Structure 1
Amino acid sequence: MNTFAMDTDRIALAPAVRLAAVTKTYGRGPRAVRALDEVSASIPRGSFTAVMGPSGSGKSTFLHCAAGLDTPTSGTSHLGDTELTGLNETRLTQLRRSRVGFVFQAFNLVPALTVRQNIALPLRLAKQRLDPAWLEEILRRVGLTGRADHRPAELSGGQQQRVAIARALITRPDVVFGDEPTGALDTVTAKEILGLLRGCVDDTGQTVVMVTHDPVAASYADTVLYLADGRIAGRDDEPTAERVAERMTHLGAWS
């Protein structure tokens, strides 16, 4: 029996992200806040999932627990076949650097570094070898080939977010997590960035999980997960901006 083949099949079948009865409580005693309340969710590989909910619904905590940025109070979170809740901080840091990409509302670029150097930074931090051909491919995908030697101050906001996406992709991560990645961009530029994230899923099989408050942004996803009061309040596997906006209104997001 081929053990390697069995392991490969098991890993291939594992969801990209899985949360099982995850509860996250901040603080203690009467002032304790339960940000997540026994949340279970499974996100397939090669999919684009948006996470939405009213302010305080737990969507950012969901992302942080799924990405290994925060540890659940109870329950388990998995990245592929790896249980994150059993890892110490050193192992979590190593895992995040090699298997997870992050794109935030703030671009978080290093001003003194060029576009090329900013993109390669996660590999330097993880002490991994840079594949020049892959770097050039990433630059081409995000439309920055001609800007590779520029510094962040010489770029528009949309171009800086493209650098952030390229930086998230350079390690060939299992999952790219986005926390309001278009929140600081104008409407036209936001659509360009969302189209780029959509292309990462459709063209290369990347898995993207994005927290957003914008129904238009959510409409680019395959699935929208709705959170309310720290619990899963529903999902939509055929999201449109209109359907998402209506559902958010019912959740009390825009009362």
Structure 2
Amino acid sequence: MRLESVTKTYGKGEQVVTALRDVTLQVPRGSFTAVMGPSGSGKSTFLHCVAGLDQPTQGRVFLGDTQLTGLKEDDLTAIRRSRIGYVFQAYNLMSALSVEQNVTLVSRLADLPVDEAWLHEVLTRVGMTEYTRRRPAQLSGGQQQRVAIARALVTRPDALLADEPTGALDTRTSQEVLRLFRHIVEQLGQTVLMVTHDPFAASFADTVLFLADGRVAGQLYRPSPEQIAERMTHLGDW
């Protein structure tokens, strides 16, 4: 994933709001990157631009060698279904579907064949092979998030994007999910980009990227939660 001089504004004239300002960066393939920043720093806009959910006002966004900027919505939808996995804080599972049906939903909507061997491996990796017939209401919050991660992985995406994936989970379950992210990065070579407000969650990443006022305000490599919290306290002065 690569952003080149990306600026994103909303509104016009005196009402214009600049969410991202000339952001240039690259997320290495097979890495785990966390994005942090105070409220209003541009984290959500950043993730939306990377995912092709929002188009930058200026600059370019690439997924691998594919430029997302300027693509038609149908083309973007096809890319999001096959090459981008998305994990939300609220799980976004279909209550009427089983675990297996939820995991394969995106593939079936995109009319893509389901690789049964890969499906079994993904369900094994996330520890959900015993629950394939259950519905979301029969699962704990952590189990539901594991299903959401499996759904994001089953299309073998170029990148997995996670938006506050542990925000609704207790501490122990959050650790399980974060260890799962590290596992898929290290064992599967998966690229993971996670937005979080939690220094402990961010400490599982290889790189922590900080945003402030829509700009990149530095980064740390394999930092401790304490180092991340210390950097966050100074972002307001940046």
Q: C-alpha distance in 2, partners of 1:212/1:122?
A: 25
Residue deviations 1:206-228 (CA, integer Å, cap 9, x gap): 00000000000000000011000
AA aligned to 2:183 is: G
Q: C-alpha distance in 2, partners of 1:132/1:46?
A: 24
Deviation at 1:134, TM superposition (A): 1.1
Q: Please report the RMSD computed on the Cα atoms of aligned residues, expressed in angstroms.
A: 0.8
Deviation at 1:237, TM superposition (A): 1.3
Equivalence for 1:90:
74
Q: C-alpha distance in 2, partners of 1:213/1:119?
A: 27
Residue deviations 1:92-141 (CA, integer Å, cap 9, x gap): 00000000000010100000000000000010011001111111111100
Equivalence for 1:165:
149
Residue deviations 1:145-192 (CA, integer Å, cap 9, x gap): 110000000000000000000000000000000000000000000000
AA aligned to 1:213 is: H
AA aligned to 1:218 is: A
SS at match of 1:34: strand
Name which of 220, 224, 234 aligns with 1:240. 224
Q: C-alpha distance in 2, partners of 1:192/1:238?
A: 19
Equivalence for 1:72:
56
Q: Does 1:145 align with 2:129?
A: yes
Structure 2: gaps spanning 5 or more residues: none
Equivalence for 2:97:
113
Q: C-alpha distance in 2, partners of 1:204/1:238?
A: 19
Percent identity reads 65
Q: How does 1:30-45 map to 2 (within 5 A)?
A: 30-45=14-29
Equivalence for 1:183:
167
Equivalence for 1:24:
8
**TM-score when scaled to structure 2?**
0.98
Structure 1: gaps spanning 5 or more residues: 1-16
Q: Say if 2:7 and 2:18, in contact at 8 Å, map to a contact too.
A: yes
Name which of 184, 192, 195 aligns with 2:179. 195
Q: Say if 2:55 and 2:70, in contact at 8 Å, map to a contact too.
A: no
Q: C-alpha distance in 2, partners of 1:183/1:131?
A: 31
SS at match of 2:118: helix
Aligned residues: 237
Q: Does 1:216 align with 2:216?
A: no
Q: Does 1:127 align with 2:127?
A: no
**TM-score when scaled to structure 1?**
0.92
AA aligned to 1:182 is: T
Moved over 6 A (4+): none
Q: C-alpha distance in 2, partners of 1:53/1:219?
A: 14
Equivalence for 2:30:
46
Q: C-alpha distance in 2, partners of 1:88/1:240?
A: 41
SS at match of 1:85: coil
Q: C-alpha distance in 2, partners of 1:139/1:204?
A: 14
AA aligned to 2:95 is: P
Q: C-alpha distance in 1, partners of 2:222/2:74?
A: 39
Deviation at 1:86, TM superposition (A): 2.5
Q: C-alpha distance in 2, partners of 1:28/1:188?
A: 45
AA aligned to 1:171 is: T
Residue deviations 1:36-88 (CA, integer Å, cap 9, x gap): 00101101000000000000000111111011111000100000000000211
AA aligned to 1:117 is: Q
Q: C-alpha distance in 2, partners of 1:88/1:74?
A: 17
AA aligned to 1:54 is: P
